[in-house]
Each structure stands twice: as C-alpha cells, then as structure tokens.
Homo-oligomer: A and B are copies of this chain.
Amino acid sequence: MRNVVVTGCPRADLAAVDELTSFGVATVHEASGRTGYLGPGIRPVYLGSRTGGTAVTAVCWPGDNLMIHAAVEQCQDGDILVVTTTSPSTDGSFGELLATSLRQRGVRGLVTTGGVRDVTELNAMGFPVFCAAVSAQGTVKATPGAVNVPVSINGQRIRPGDAIVADDDGVTVVARTEVAAVIAAARAREENEDATRAALRAGELGLDRYGLRKILAEQGVEYLDFGSYQEQP
C-alpha cells in the first residue's frame, strides 16, 4: 500500500444511489448476484437506520486515526466514509467530533471494520454508524496510511465512488459502474417478491412456488411417517 491521498475521485450518481438505497441491503446484495455484502461482523450501532451514499475510503494503522482526519477533507455531500485498518483493531477511532465534521460536509454515515465511541451522542445526532465494535479506547494520530485507495472487506472490493447501502441487515457495496444494472435487477426482484408474498399469504408453499419438490426428490429426500422413522438408538 502506498501512503497516498487520492483526490478528485469520480462517484456513482447520487440520485441512482438513493434509488438503490430504497431497496435495502438484502435485495441489493441479491440483485448484485449475491456479491458485495460486507459480512455479519459489521453491524449498526442502533437498529432502525437505513442509509446509502458514495464511498470515500480510509486505511488506518491499528490504534491510529490520522487518516480518518485526512479522509474528512475528501468527503462531500452524499458520501459515506469507509474505514479499515491494516490489521484487526477494535479501538474507538471514531466519535462524536468526527461525526460532527462529517455531517457538516453532508456525509451520510460511517462504515468501519474497527471500533467507534460516543455512541449515545452519535445516536442523539442520528448519525448512522456501522461498525465491528464499540470501544472507548482512544487512538493516536501518528502513523501514515491511505485515503481513497481500493479496500477489501469480507472479500468484497470497495473502490472510492462505489455505492454503499447500509441498514439493519449490514452493509453492501455496488461498483460505481454497476449501479444502473443492479437497480434494474432489484426492481425486477422486488416485483417478483411482491407476487410471491401475496401467494404465500394465500397459503401457497415455497415448495410449490419455487419448484422445490422436484429437487427434493432428485436429491433423494424421503418422506417418512413418524411411526416408521426409527432414530438410531
């Protein structure tokens, strides 16, 4: 990793990102071909927030938030700040003052593989935060890193300007160049789900609706009455 701050990154179209966000994380992840999900380890601090925006990335040394400060300057209206560390760290490298600064610039939320603190204040501000830990442990501002380089979280690639969608199910990323295609797929998926939901409410089974009885039979799943099923002694 070179110690660089990359400026002037192109971003996904914000109106498109807003539409993407309206579908929610699970639908966007599915519409992306089941990719982009940042994993069950990154959770909202408080349940109930949904947000979306364009990624600004920061790579920090563990226990050090120098590059978050450098990243703030690169943020603009509609962004979401995405923070990783070079090795695992739960330290609280982000809190209410940084959120104040981000909000002043129109930033919509924070995603971090590390820790945050001041969560009462963050919640009072209504600033959406998705993180791996809450920790009051403070950090220093001493070690270089990078801003707006591509990062990987849970095996998913995040480039600056990519679309980020986050809600109670976690966080997912859509490549800047794929946003339009994923919106189209998400729309189709949602229409299909509406019809399925109505059918399920009417009592139709997923076994029938998705044609799964054939798979069960092909895979050799037997139906046995309780009386004839003999558990191994």
Contacts and interface: CB of A to CB of B under 8 A. Distances in A.
Given A34-B1, A215-B142, A101 B229 contact: no
Contacts of A10: 226
A40 to B, nearest CB: 4
Contact of A221 (B3, B91, B215, B221): B3
Interface in A197-231: 197, 200-203, 205-207, 210, 212, 215-216, 219-227, 229, 231
Interface in A23-53: 24-26, 29-30, 33-35, 37, 39-40, 43, 46-48, 50
Contacts of A9: 226
Given A24-B118, A141-B210, 20 more contacts: A2-B222, A5-B224, A7-B224, A7-B225, A10-B226, A26-B95, A26-B138, A43-B134, A48-B120, A61-B64, A62-B87, A66-B215, A70-B207, A72-B205, A72-B206, A87-B137, A97-B206, A134-B170, A136-B170, A150-B157
